Amino acid sequence: MTPCGETIRITRGRGGEVEVTGTIDAFARDILLRAGFLFLPALRGHWIRLPFDLGQGWENEHAAWAADMLTAARYPVHLDPGLRPHPPGQEAPAAPSRPPAMTADAPPSRPPRR
């Protein structure tokens, strides 16, 4: 848990960057690092953000993944609604269907083995 139960906020900043604010302990830091967040030195501690210019879809997926993992670890988390990959209440898009498996039949140009 964060000290004093402070909420970890994952938001899109004014410049379009996805950043994290709040008090982060070592475990939450590991989760955010695994989700792709960078910890950059700043005047007042660290600036925690996702890399720039990887596309909003990528940023939304990684921000939502981080929020889900932090929530699973029982951290109080606020995720900006605009960072969800799909709006709440809607189903996630279905995975693409897989092509049928290849068979072991001989190609039509070759005679079958005897």
Mind listing the pLDDT tens digit for each residue in 17-76?
Answer: 999 998 889 999 999 999 899 998 888 888 899 988 888 888 999 999 999 999 999 999
Q: How far apart are the first and last CA of the chain?
A: 69
Residue 76, Cβ neighbours under 10 Å: how many? 14
pTM value > 0.85: no
Q: Give the whole-angstrom CA distance, residue 20 versus residue 24.
A: 9
Least confident range from 12-16, 42-46, 52-56, 108-112: namely 108-112
Check if the beta carbon of residue 76 is closer than 8 Å to that of residue 2: yes
* Chain centroid offset of residue 25 CA: 19
* pLDDT, mean of residues 10-21: 90
